[in-house]
Structure 1
Amino acid sequence: MTINVGETVFFGAARFCRIGAAIVLVGIAGCSSTNTGGPVPMAETAGPKDTGTFPNLNIPPKVAAKQFTNEERDAKLAQLKADENRQGAKKGGGPPVSNQAALTDLAKKHGPQTLKQIEGKCDPALDPTCK
C-alpha cells in the first residue's frame, strides 16, 4: 500500500501541477528586486585615484626599503657561499672506519638478532638477563 501511495504522490498527474507552481514561484521571486537606485554613476575622470583604502591596485606601491646594489648582492652571496662551505665541511666529519669487515659482519647479524629478541626467543649471548 505504501508503494501505491508513493507512486500516486510522486509519479501521478499531480506532479505537473507542483512543477508548474514551483516555476511560477521562482519566477516571481526572481523578478522582485530591491535595487531602486538606478544605474551606477560612472567616474568622471579616467585614471587611477587614491581612495585612501588598502590595497589600491591602481597606484604602484612605494618601495619600502633601499634596494641592494650589485656590490652588496655579491658580498651577501659570497658570505652565504662561505657559510655553505663551512657547513659542508662539518657534514662528513666522522672518524674514518678502521675495520670495515667488522661493520659488514655486524650489519648481517643485526637484523636476525633483533628479531629473536623481539619475538621472545631470547639469546643469552645477546641479552644476559634472558633465561
Structure 2
Amino acid sequence: MKYLAVTGGTVSGLGKGITISSIGVVLKSLGLRVTSIKIDPYLNCDAGTMSPFEHGEVFVLNDGGEGDLDLGNYERFLGITLTRDHNITTGKVYTHVLEKERRGDYLGKTVQVVPHVTDAIQDWIERVAQIG
C-alpha cells in the first residue's frame, strides 16, 4: 500500500480539498485503488457543532458521520463512499486513546503523545485505508 500525504496548514479556502480530489481522479484513471482520509487538528470530534462561518457547511456521510465539504468532494470526484472513520480529528484520536487507557489497555503505563497518540493515528490511517 502506498500513501500520498497532502498538507497545507490550517488556512481554509486554499483549494487543498479540490486538489486532493483531482489527484485522486488522476490516480484512479491509472487503475489504482484510491481512497481519501481527511485529518484535521481540531479537538472537536466532528464538524457537526462547528461554526459554518469558519469551516463551511457540514457534509453528512452515509453512516451519519459529519465532516466538512471536502469529504463530499472526495466522494463525488472519486465515486466512493466514505465513513466517519475517513475523517480523523485530534478530538477523535484523544477520545480513542483515553478510552483505551480507561479500559486498562495500556497496562498501567503512562499514556503519552509519543508513542500512544502517534501510534493511534498511524493505526487509524492504516485501518481506514484497508476498507477503502
TM-score by length of 2: 0.18
Larger proportion of strand = 2
Higher gyration radius (CA): 1
When normalised by structure 1's length, the TM-score is 0.18
Greater RCO structure (CA 8 Å; 6+ sep)? 2
